[in-house]
Chains A and B, each alone.
Chain A
């Protein structure tokens, strides 16, 4: 018999990568009992169960939680005069279906003027058209303001779920599959992480309870990331433009996208063709994005429809970039288009608002407790915040630029988005969803369900949900908040339901204790704060204790998370040098 050659025993799949990773972390195959409740729930699905049996069940279960959460009230429910986000979304369906396209971005700013990019407007138009078939009174111009028809609520809730199931959920399924295969993670483990990702409390609370369409944007971002994993750089760019075109908040990820795409054009060798493809694809998708607005404006102008019909006399000068007017003739054919686009940018990026909103948990809000930031001029604050943000996101993006490794994508996206969330201008509580998404998808990665990552990801998510509590408790949504966050904590075996995510063998005791103490302190603080907010003079607590403590603690926690991410990087860096 011939000498045992490696070719004779060649496994069908190359096991090189997994072997190296397993040397760093413990192999999962040795785990014989479920280590947290979610794994126990999916335990019977191990082995020979087909994905066509498991996936529909997962999607149905997750959908049921979303719909049931949607039975609660929404932002601005029966709270005149302005109502809330629900009314804003409904109002956009009203104006996009009832007004000519050139008036969308000019219509009555006082009543929830449209302040999202065009794709949101097109989305609203489509939903408004479909809704009008069911009941035209839902979207009547002016007459429908503040409508709280129960059937309208059901329709709107259904649109959120349908949008999510068309965009976010397929993206998440594909991303989890690709990302877990990158590390050779078993399919069953990937399903567990998929459930954990889809049950993220903050996302359900904001989209399905509070009412918004964030998952559409997040879905495009996930699609972009999975295109990056698959090596389809052009599609990554296209999807990211779609995300940006839906919500400008996607800019939080822009540096990471830029670094990765540029990095993959110069590493391991310079690839001009790829660079050109990405650049052209980006330009074309932006063009397609604004094309309906441009054409619509030209068409309306030719029909003599004014974009600002309520205005007596000439149009005011451009709100931003007034110097443009010097080069343009206000009577030229293209002037309405320029005016329209400038107006859109002005509506989408409102630099005139304050540094932060009421109780957002970012750095500026925290430091505001010590130094009153509002007394400084806006321009100075903008510059400081820009510098701080750049400093915060620079390291992560630099690493991604010189070594565009697919494994690092979620880390870099999370670090960049955290950087923006902590230091940028005009941050809203809901923006916490952006850094939470790339952090949570780490669960699908290498050792993602191990104690280390689970503890950190869980900590960030529960903190993130907690910072949204004031937003939710304002409209009496404490019950879904409590149920969804505690359920998620229970499923992943996290405090306050369990401490099993801490202390594992084979790690330095010092690191473990410090993690446990930091996390434990915050969990304790959250519990005490909730107790106080519930039973002791609510307004006092929420004003003083709430804003300052919460933001400070969240700030610190997020810093810890970032340092945790950096610690992971250093581990990865060791790995990179070894290979």
Chain B
């Protein structure tokens, strides 16, 4: 009895403490599903947790991961963006990127952060180094290889997403990439560990390494930023709105009449967002021109938000293969759909019919498991309007089967036409979505896939070990000009020749305009090249950018073990700036206002492989070196013998030049010896004259005749001068 009370005491105390200072915070998660053309499925996971800055400063954490927060505090990082990415987004068939490309990174690992500095030059570097080293440990990635040579400080490409207090001191942006880093399950596990439900419940239970890394395109992101709200928590979670706004605004959808309500609805959300982001920009970054300044935020208005996303595109057919038999064997002949219209069609000849209609799929088959339970941490209160899963398929044309569980609510998708939203059951039931196979050929979609802001590709051209050239193509498919920030960070062993930089436009009358250029040349083994261009790309035109570069020869020990693979060059980051009010293309004012709100859209090119001159680190290399040395020795002595003329010393002919010099010397000497008596006589007479006038003495050495000491060589000149 006594023991029990004793034991219960700390628990009671702890409960008291927790009850009195419950850290305020919020957590929600969301999964967006959208089938893409070509039998692909886009799945976007979003996990957002917040904590108030007060709790953060006093180290009270509830949903915000403590491990990460302590790293951020130690390294004085105010805003962090970390990306792990694999594969390629196929813009031509899939359209624009999810979340405007703002939650994705280049192949490998990408990290940028705003780090607080205290005026000292070295402090920020130290903090950055401590940040990357700690994150390296936390995420089992080689982030610690982001050293000075891989760190850049972009000027135009990134802007803080959060609201930063004046008291934060001077913030510096640092950016680093690791294009060679292969993202794999060891990075996913720590990522899931940061979540409150640890991947055990809720939508995160779908994230299984086998499926995530079998995706055609996959990116994981972690974004930590301070956000401030003036009012009570909004009814909708920001990022849902964010996604909705961006995905609907970037098209040019405002043409039909049927979309009016839809547009208004979006405008309502967007105005909310605009106010907020405009504010943040106005306060610290003088880009906004709206003037909707609301005054500084109080500390308690502000939260620290961590947003973790996993975006991926799965090949439905490949993902639905059973795990125990993943080999894509040729299907049995009976299962092959043949085009019977072909003249040669027979029992052994089969022209495969292109697949028609919609492929059937379900969450449990695509992800290998269904959603286990939910992760509604605050209970069901106040969350009635929150949906965990949304599915974007043509409404009415696509049947969706959901398990007949009572706790699932299907939203009244009033304003968002093609999106169905679901809430996970509140008891710990499994949740699954099934879209059956629909063999009926679909009419081609009326709405074109949303055009991406820009098509970009970057290639290394040329061949050989010495030079190469970089070729970037940017294509603007829109009917208005776009301003673009193009950021390249090159490793030091790729030395660009900036005088060869050419920006050429095709397909339009107006030329691309290079407005600004920031260029930091590289220093061998210390710093890479950073190139940032602000470009205007005319409407419906292509801009080609080329420059030549030289490949450096590395030191023997600087080659990695797989030297012959080549060296990875980080992808270029392209930021498409939002349109401004005062752009020449005057559009609907509400639309331009909307577009001006965000940070613009981001896209990244693929990473590149740069083959460098590599020594042959093998036995033949040693043999060649040895042989060459022997040959050089042999050649040297034989050559020496051949070009040398062997004569006796007496035989050595005197050089004609020496003869001439000697002749000149002789003549001069002759002239001198002829002159000498005359001069002596003159001197004598003069001295006698002087001596008779002044009396002798004193100058005895003056008239001392020079001993005929014209030296063997150099004596002549001073001698001649002396006279």
Q: Say whether A associates with B.
A: no
Interface residues of chain B, those whose CB is within 8 Å of chain A, are none
